[in-house]
Structures are given as structure tokens and as C-alpha cells.
Amino acid sequence: MTHEQPQRTLVFAHHADEDHLAHESTLQFAERVATRTNGALEIKVVSNNALGTIPRVLRDLREGKIDMALPPHDRLGVHCPKFGCMSLPFVFDNYEHANRLIDADLSDWTTADLAEIGLIGLSNWDWGFRQITNNKRPILTPDDMAGLKFRVPPLPHYELSMKLLGATPIAVDLPQLVRVLHLGQIDGQENPISVILALKLYQFQKYMSLINYSYGGLTHVINKNTFEQLPFIQQQVLREESRAAAFTLRQIMKRSEHTNLELLVQAGMRVDMTDIRPFKAKMKPAIEQLGPQFGIENLNTFMELVEKHGGS
């Protein structure tokens, strides 16, 4: 089948490194959209913050300077606080718990909020549970965090979480993480396993503790005006292929975490399974203290959804 010349090219910007599974899923999405529209709709994927930091990309997306993005729930939460609730500490037991809430309720709960800032959500993608690493000592209890400087994303709930554990939070955007580790300006950081491997953080971090303290998700969003200008059939293709890419990423990420841990160990990292109960107890006040930031009503509704979808 011969493809037509693209009738329209949509720019899809994201922050993942090209070695990350999320980038592979964006390429799957782009390829499938081109195939299903017979080349009439082209997706130009721009990775690794090449068009700027996440806040800048979100600004440009809302202004229509780019067409699609894949912001983390926590960064999207700056504009739509409901998304910020998703990354609160220790609210999800595991991937299945988070995925049940996402699949059943997250889109319906947030559609109107996205529309208010000029966006439409196509689907939600996994990014991974955040783990803690450092170059000083094994972290087996919260007491082991005392006195350590930890890089966190520049968002209040991560800073508060590290303070509650006794560490000193240092807010650094992801593109600068490798540089500050290389310079020795921080002792540790927290990120999903896939990010730790993709960025080769084992070069600077000796110890990892698996505590799954915060679920990381992404939302595939498109500028509302861009979306509404497309023919209905192309809108449907975007929605369907975004969901398909999200499903592929979810399955691959779950299967790959054990392998990725083995690769990190082979690269010289010590990986400890820790008792999360004392960490969870220390971070418990964070949810109450962050209520005003996310909105008390939003937070209460979110915790009801968390309870609704809990259990095995």
C-alpha cells in the first residue's frame, strides 16, 4: 500500500531518554497512526527534553506551539491538581492497584480539568514506582536517610516526603540530574528502576533500596484545538493507538523490572529489599499536610478511589 503525503504532522514531545521503554512506545504509537491513516497523519516524536523542560513543553502545548506531550502525573498536577494526587507517597500497593484506579476512573475524573487548560487526555501510561538510591550507605530504615542530600523533582510533595524521612531535599530538574550526581553535589536521588538504568545512574550511585514509595504515571495529552480540527476517524485512531501503546508499555515494564534490577546489580549496584512499614509511617503526615495544595475535596475523592480499587 502506498502512503499519501502527510496532510498534517503533529509534534509529540516527551522527556524520556531514547533508551527508555516509554520512548519505544511513542515510536509504536507514531508508526501505527501513520499506518492506519495511510500516511495522512504523521507523528513527529521529539524525545529527551529536546524542546525544553516539562514545564516549558506543557506551556507550549497549551499555546498550540506543539501538539502532543507525555507529562508525568506529578508535573501535570501543577495545572490539574487531581493528577498530583496520583504520586502521593504510599497510596498504591502495587501496579495492579494503580492500574485499576487508572483504567476505571482517572480519565472520567480529570477530563473537565484538562479541558479547562486546553488539553484532551488520550490515555495514561506507566512510568514506574520510585525507588531510592545513594552513594553513601545502604538505606534499610528511615534513620539511614538522616543527613543525606537527596535530589527530588521541584515539587512540594517530593520535598516534604524527603524531609519527613530525615533527608535534605535538593530540587533539581531531571535534565540536570546526571550533572549534579557527577559533580557530587547530592548524595542520592529517587526514580523508577527504568529511569535509573536508562540514565546509567549506577555510575554514580552504589546503593538502591526498593520501597515503591510513589507511583509514577504519564498522561498522553493533545492540544484541544489541534484535536478538534482533525477528522473524527483520525481522532479515533489517536485514542485507540494511544491506549494500545500504553498497554504495551505497561506489559513490557512489568516484565522488564526484574531483568533491569539484575542489570543494575551486574553494573555494581547493591539492591536491598526493605521493610516499607517504617517508611510509610514516617510519610503518613504528608497526605494531610498536602491537602490544601491538591484541594481537600480532590484529595478526599482520590483517597476514596484508592480504597475502592485496593485489595488483591
In tens, the pLDDT along 71-100 reads 999 999 999 999 999 999 999 999 999 999
What DSSP designation does 202 have?
G
Q: Residue 84: name the closest of 291, 253, 249, 310 by CA.
A: 291
Q: What is the mean pLDDT of residues 175-184?
A: 94
Domain boundaries, the chain: 8-308
How high is the pLDDT of residue 225?
98
pLDDT band at 1 (very low <50, low <70, confident <90, very high): very low
Q: 3-class DSSP state for residue 143?
A: helix
**For strand 8-13 and strand 119-134, is the pairing parallel, antiparallel, or unpaired?**
unpaired
How high is the pLDDT of residue 291?
83
Percentage with pLDDT > 90 across the chain: 93
How high is the pLDDT of residue 3?
55
Residue 32 grid coordinates: 501505527
For CA atoms 188, 194, 197, 199, give the dihedral sign: negative
How high is the pLDDT of residue 75?
95
pLDDT of 233-267, one tens digit each? 999 999 999 999 999 999 999 889 999 999 999 99
pLDDT band at 43 (very low <50, low <70, confident <90, very high): very high
Q: How far apart are CA 65 and CA 60, in angstroms?
A: 5
Instruction: Collect all residues with Cβ–Cβ distance below 8 Å to 292 and sequence separation of at least 6.
Output: none
How high is the pLDDT of residue 7?
86
How high is the pLDDT of residue 4?
59
Whole-number mean pLDDT of the chain? 95
The CATH architecture that domain 8-308 belongs to is 3-Layer(aba) Sandwich (3.40)
How high is the pLDDT of residue 151?
97
pLDDT of 273-292, one tens digit each? 999 999 999 999 998 898 88
User: DSSP alpha helices (H): ranges in the chain?
Assistant: 21-36, 54-62, 73-76, 81-85, 95-101, 107-116, 156-164, 177-182, 193-198, 224-229, 232-266, 277-289, 291-294, 296-308
Q: Residue 126: name the closest of 264, 16, 52 by CA.
A: 16
